[in-house]
Structure 1
């Protein structure tokens, strides 16, 4: 845990590779000190079609799905570190957003075969 789901506008491909984006988010989550690196799962999905407030504008939105039990301060710090990692990519004219979503431990299931 966490699951880092990165949504982004594919037009960013001119400035940034999806691999670099995943690496930045992954590092931001690791820098929080809340997770072991081996437990962080990061993936990205690009969108060809989108509107941002009625206009076409590049965006990156990260959802960090974590198991319940972290304090509000820890969740806030996690979001800030991932946002800082995104800002460090040096992109311009872009909307950057991060949200931390808690998953209930009692209803989370995992299986590795």
Structure 2
């Protein structure tokens, strides 16, 4: 945990490689001291088509799905760390958003299948 999903407008790939976005999010998660590196799962998804208020506005939106039980302060700190990491890139005319979503521990299931 966490599952970090980075959604972004595809036009940003020319300015920041997706791997750099993932690395920034991972480092922010680790800096929060809530997770170990082995726990952080990252993936990204570019969007070819996107619109805000009727026009194409570049964006980066990160959803962090974490197991329930963290305090509001911990979640706020995590969100701010990720936002600061993203705004550290030299991007302009971009909307940055971060969302923390709790996954209920009682209903979360996981199984890792190894060879």
Q: Could you state the TM-score of these two structures normalised by the residue count of structure 2? A: 0.96
RMSD in angstroms over aligned alpha carbons? 0.6
Deviations 1:11-31 (Å, cap 9, x if unpaired)?
Answer: 001101111111111111111
Question: What residue number does 2:65 align with?
Answer: 65
Where 1:91 maps in the other structure, the secondary structure is coil
Structure 1 residue matching 2:50: 3-state secondary structure: coil
Give distance in 1, aligned partners of 2:26 and 2:43.
9
Following superposition, the deviation at residue 37 of structure 1 comes to 1.0
Once the two structures are superposed, residues 67-109 of structure 1 have per-residue CA deviations (whole angstroms, 9 ceiling, x without a partner) of 0000000000000000000001121110000000000000000
Structure 1 residue runs of 4 or more that deviate by more than 2 Å after TM superposition: none
Deviation at 1:9, TM superposition (A): 0.4
* 1:53, distance to aligned residue in structure 2 (A): 2.1
Q: Which residue of 2 aligns with 1:21?
A: 21
Partner secondary structure for residue 25 of structure 1: helix
Distance 1:38 1:68 in 2: 19
Q: Which residue of 2 aligns with 1:102?
A: 102
Determine the C-alpha separation between the residues in 1 that align with 2:99 and 2:2: 12
Structure 1: state its 5+ residue gaps: none
Is 1:53 the counterpart of 2:53? The answer is yes
